Structure 1
């Protein structure tokens, strides 16, 4: 079976997708917080409340943004949040669960986000990523993202941008 052929990206429908999106957000934040502790940026501990709130109620947390989901068959395997940031659109919380990695879901989410950004009148698409996420940095490079002046105050975040 051609995995890529069965992969699609759409806007989340929270009446149906809330639990899956919440689970992906919880996994994303848990991994990120563990990596931040491993890299000496934070102490190990429970998920900060601001992130736990996203996982509890993603529809409220991302009201006004588009939550994109990558779907393979009936299973949601990835997500990204897309919102306006001035003349650009910005991607937050790009996540593909372990079972969906190497399926093309990350690329499909980025391609869809760029298309939506362009259709919404944005001139560029931007994101930030931790400098230790080598695989993600490689993916973003393949998608045409280039280093950009930082809009982040947090140490070790790399800011990237591409034209849409």
Structure 2
């Protein structure tokens, strides 16, 4: 990517046509990379578990109750994040992903700031997330944003659960 433009974060779907196709491609990259990191690399999206294929094929339906944020540089969608609909005052951050070509340019930080602002505006009291332990850069980023490791709500090995007050 050669465009060094400013990162903007938009709610998807929204008024920015350049981000229309962004979530599907970003979700595909996220899931393919995650499966490879877990030691279960697959050749393409068709070999992913069904629940992940549904997210990629139709994010508008899968995340209809949630908020999908897309980071855009110029005319390219370069990052995404999902904030789940609030339940009992809490929401979860899921699917934070940035295109590896733009890492280090504030994309993930911009998405997290937008997620925190959205949560605050919508009465969310606690945001939680889970991240694979080997994603040490992501864990450090979440800690910089005030997330702390908490008791796990997920049985998967090497999954770190974190939360913070909004």
The TM-score normalised by the length of structure 1 is 0.88
Following superposition, which runs of at least 4 residues in structure 1 exceed 2 angstroms of deviation? 14-19, 43-46
User: CA RMSD, aligned part only?
Assistant: 1.7
Question: Does the CA contact (< 8 Å) of 1:6 and 1:73 recur in 2?
Answer: yes
Q: Does 1:113 align with 2:148?
A: no
1:26-41 to 2 correspondences below 5 Å: 26-37=28-39
Give 2:163's aligned residue. Answer: 161
SS of match in other structure, 2:32: helix
SS of match in other structure, 1:95: strand
Q: 2: CA distance between counterparts of 1:102 and 1:85? A: 33
Give 2:154's aligned residue. Answer: 152
Give 2:65's aligned residue. Answer: 64
SS of match in other structure, 2:38: helix
Question: Does the CA contact (< 8 Å) of 1:91 and 1:125 recur in 2?
Answer: yes
For structure 1, the 5+ residue unaligned runs are 38-42
Give 1:12's aligned residue. Answer: 12
For structure 2, the 5+ residue unaligned runs are none
Question: Does the CA contact (< 8 Å) of 2:22 and 2:70 recur in 1?
Answer: no
Give 1:40's aligned residue. Answer: none
Question: Does the CA contact (< 8 Å) of 2:69 and 2:80 recur in 1?
Answer: yes
Aligned mate of 1:143, from 142, 145, 150: 145
The TM-score normalised by the length of structure 2 is 0.87
SS of match in other structure, 2:77: strand
Which structure shows the bigger proportion of residues in helix conformation? 1
Q: In the TM superposition, what is the alpha-carbon distance from 1:11 to its structure 2 partner? A: 0.3
SS of match in other structure, 2:9: strand
Structure 1 residues 14 and 21: CA distance shift in structure 2, 3 A: farther
* 1:120-144 deviation line (CA, Å, top 9, x unaligned): 1011211000011011011111111
